[in-house]
Chains A and B, each alone.
Chain A
Amino acid sequence: MKIKQPRILVIEDNKCDRDLLLHILNSLETECVVECVNSGRIGVEHLRKESFDLVILDLSMQKFDGFQVLKDIRDAKDKAFPVLLVSSFTNKEDKVQGLELGATDCINKPYIIEEVRARVQIQLKLRQILKDVQWASEKTNAGIKMLYKELDKKNKQLQEFDRLKDEFLGNVSHELRTPLTIIRESISQIVDGLIGDVPEKQKQYLSRALANIDRLKNIIDNLLDISKIEKGRVELYKEKVDLVALIKDICADFQTKAAAQNLELRYELPEDEVYVLIDMEKTIQVFTNLIGNALKFTKKGNITISLKEWEDFVQCEVADTGMGIAAEHLPQLFNKFKQFSRTHSPGEKGTGLGLTIAKSIVELHGGNIHVESREGKGTTFIFTLPKYCQRRLVHEENIDYRR
């Protein structure tokens, strides 16, 4: 912002010096408004009321102590203006004292016109730069404040949308489940022959309908799971679990399905127990999702679940000899609703949420998950879980004890 016309206040009780200064100031390249006063008191009053861009103060006035005036004008409303001290400076320490009291520069009397002009011009230029910087910073601050306000507003709106979305999701889920229950149980009672005899062919069709109702139910469950996980509303109920036994149990549940597809489902596990600190139900969900996927995308060969122990975590692998995943699809594999066109048997469609949920659960446990895959060769999912560590717990208790 350009200072339109710099305002200069001259405090000088010597008329000759004052006139000379006025003459010099009027010949500056910058056009200025100059006010002259012949007393320190009036000068200070002026400065309290108005702002100036430069003050030229005579240090050696007859009726006023120049240093006192200098102190007083530093209490003025705009303290940032420069003050030029003029004096014969017979006492060399005066300069130092003046500068210490807040003067910006000193000019010796008698005046050398060129020097006065140059020093005044420098001060005015500095003043202009300072104003520019202040103006820019104020503008930026105001901008930031406005942006912040805007952000705050948007944030509140988003939170409200989020709450509404949750509420909506909850309601939709509830409203969907009730009719689904009626449809499922009605069909189920027909299939079970509660309503009368049903020909085998019709039973087949109705069973297919039942399977797809269950699929629909899974989608609703998964959507709610994802929504909860994303909001950080999932609590883990961690307990000490023997992962070796757990994997054996999970595999047992899948054996029938694997056998029906002529696939071998096997495990490579340590002989002894391996204790992990996990939420058992959620961990089962991870294995279920990964094994389910492996079964879906493997036509022949085997699915192998293995377990390796490290110092404070375990590494689990679910490997298949299926069709594999194209390298370009790997980076988005864990994204929501990402399903890749892999041909698979009908009735084996997923929700596109299984891997997202698996990843979230592993990460909630402080572990990580990644995938290695070669097209035509197979896919391996590798993830880590925290080991149950007696030593660590004891250590933590010790720290508490010492406190």
Chain B
Amino acid sequence: MKRILIIDDDPDIVELVKTRLQQNSYHVICAANGKEGLKKARKETPDLILMDIMMPRMTGGDAVKMLQDYDTTKNIPVIFLTAVASPKSPTGEENQGINVGGEHFPALGKPFDSEDLLSVVRRHLPS
């Protein structure tokens, strides 16, 4: 079973994404902020991370940089879930992505369609 870590400061969103992913046979680990997320990423080394960007104290961008500092976490694919803006793509699923320190990360704009969420997750999960 693939393991996905979700990091978001909104407990409702964490709960909903968790339910949706569990329903689709993923093991879900939850974190309520960047700090907790980093800790769990190092400890549990999930297959994929879904992360909010605008979080208090540590932003998603900062968290990504710190993930890259650790050998155990630097290769885990990260998908941003963002309410900052949602530049649409023609197909409406994945948007243009987010640039952190010159590196490009896939991003899904909030609110998202659960189908889009699942398809982005499937696409970026290492087989």
Contact = CB atoms under 8 A, between A and B. Distances in A.
A189 B86 contact: no
20 contacts: A174-B84, A177-B109, A180-B110, A181-B13, A181-B111, A182-B10, A184-B111, A184-B112, A185-B13, A185-B111, A188-B113, A189-B19, A192-B114, A194-B23, A213-B111, A217-B86, A221-B86, A224-B85, A281-B88, A285-B88
B121 interface: no
Given A186-B16, A281-B90, A284-B90, A181 B84 contact: no
Contacts of B16: 181-182, 185-186, 189
| 10 smallest beta-carbon distances between A and B, as pairs | A177-B83, A181-B111, A181-B110, A184-B111, A185-B16, A284-B90, A180-B111, A177-B110, A182-B12, A174-B83
Contacts, number: 67
A185 B10 contact: no
A91 interface: no
B108 to A, nearest CB: 10
Given A181-B111, A182-B16, 18 more contacts: A170-B85, A173-B85, A174-B54, A174-B83, A174-B84, A178-B10, A180-B110, A181-B83, A181-B110, A183-B111, A185-B17, A185-B114, A189-B20, A194-B20, A213-B111, A217-B86, A221-B86, A280-B90
A39 interface: no
A297 B89 CA distance: 25
Nearest to A280: B90
A189 B23 CA distance: 10
B20 A185 contact: yes
Nearest to B53: A174
A288 interface: yes
Contacts of B23: 194
A178 B110 CA distance: 7
Given A185-B20, A186-B16, A194-B19, A178 B83 contact: yes
Contacts of B54: 174
Nearest to B52: A178
B90 A288 contact: yes
Contacts of B89: 281
Interface in B52-92: 54, 83-86, 88-90
Nearest to A220: B86
A170 B113 CA distance: 22
B114 A188 contact: yes
Contacts of A185: 13, 16-17, 20, 111-112, 114
B58 to A, nearest CB: 17
A221 B112 CA distance: 13
Interface string A190-202: 0010100000000
The secondary structure that dominates the A interface is helix
A177 B86 contact: yes
Contacts of A288: 90
Interface residues of B, number: 23
Range, interface on chain A? 20 to 34
A217 B19 contact: no
Nearest to A288: B90
Nearest to B91: A253
Chain A CB count within 10 A is highest, among B19, B83, B112, for: B83
A181 B20 contact: no
A182 B13 contact: yes
A237 B90 CA distance: 15
Interface string A271-311: 00000000011001100100000000000000000000000
Interface string B94-122: 00100000000000011111100000000
Interface in A138-185: 170, 173-174, 177-178, 180-185
A281 B16 CA distance: 30
A168 B117 CA distance: 28
A182 B84 CA distance: 15
Interface in B8-37: 10, 12-13, 16-17, 19-20, 23
Contacts of A177: 83, 86, 109-111
A93 B109 CA distance: 92
A284 B88 CA distance: 11
Query: In this complex, which of A173, A177, A184, A253 has the most chain B Cβ atoms within 10 angstroms of its Cβ?
Result: A177
A222 to B, nearest CB: 10
A170 to B, nearest CB: 7
A181 B81 CA distance: 11
Contacts of B12: 182
Contacts of A186: 16
